[in-house]
Structures are given as structure tokens and as C-alpha cells.
Structure 1
């Protein structure tokens, strides 16, 4: 049984035919142990190109990131804050900054 029940598993004959075709493919011969031992990474062979296409993942880092905290608020206060609309958490931050004199 396969992970996907709608995909029919290969028969032994089909698998043998696939392996035969792989073995005789002149465009993609199997690498020898010596070739594998001598292999170099893309960045080693083309360092300038590798650097030019390198990209960072995720959002850019900021110097002073906000900290996640958990506080308990009265339901009516929370409802009023959420009524500020999209980005209400940032607006709460602004309100608190003003309240503490920042």
C-alpha cells in the first residue's frame, strides 16, 4: 500500500524496465566513487555567482525588536482595543509608550 491510495504501485517488471533505462541513459551516467570524492560545491566552483544569487530568508532583522508578552486584560478593555482595527497591537504599543512617557 502506498501513501497515496490512488497511485498504483509498480510491478517488478515495470521497476526492472525503469532501472534498465536509468542504467543505459548516456546523458546521466551514475557517478563513480572517485567522482563523488572529487566533487566540489557550487559555491567553491563559482564563488562570485553563488554570492550574487545568495539571499537571506525571512524578514530583515531590526536593531530593537519588540518582545512578546502575555498580559491579562478586562474583556471590555480588550474589545475597545481591538475596535481600533487592523494593527491594533501596534496602536496599543503607542498608547503605552505615551502613558509611560516615552
Structure 2
């Protein structure tokens, strides 16, 4: 991980020990509604994640001189994106 990024721990703000220790009682099952065909028909699947890109990037292995890479890295975070933008202008 680059030194410029700080990781932070996300918290659920929930007492997971309490949740894990809970044992479902028979009476709790009785509170649940009966699953019907209509409920199943209304169900949707949400895959989540990023939408597919219209112009996805392709992976490529490219050997460059060390001094070229160091000059680009010296420009700061986002150097790969800037390099790609510069290369795309050369037509």
C-alpha cells in the first residue's frame, strides 16, 4: 500500500458478540410470514459492484527504463493514469 494512503478500520457499530451468541427460539420462527410464490416472483437479484465500463482497460506488460518509471512516479499519485492519457494523445 502506498505511504500516502491511510487505512481506516470500518466498524459495523453493532455488538457482534451479542449477535453471535443469540440462539433462535421456536417462537421466533412462528413470527416469520409464510413464503409465497408471489414473494418469490417479486424477488430480484442485486449483484452489486461497479457497472461494466464501456471502454475497459486491458492488461499489458511493458518494459521501460528505470529512469523513465522513476520520473513518472516522481509526479505523484495517479502517475499511471497520466501516463495512459499521454500515450493516448500520441496518434
TM-score under structure 1 length normalisation? 0.48
TM-score under structure 2 length normalisation? 0.53
Q: Report the count of equivalent residues.
A: 63
Higher helix share: 1
- Listed as ranges, the gaps of 5+ residues in structure 2 are 1-24, 30-34
The match for 1:80 among 59, 62, 71 is 71
1:57 lines up with 2:48 in the alignment: yes
In terms of Rg, which structure is larger? 1
* Aligned positions of 1:16-55 closer than 5 A: 26-27=26-27, 44-46=37-39, 47-48=41-42, 50-51=43-44, 54-55=45-46
- Listed as ranges, the gaps of 5+ residues in structure 1 are 1-24, 29-39
Is 88-97 or 56-65 further displaced after alignment?
A: 56-65
Higher relative contact order (Cα pairs below 8 Å, separated by 6+ residues): 2
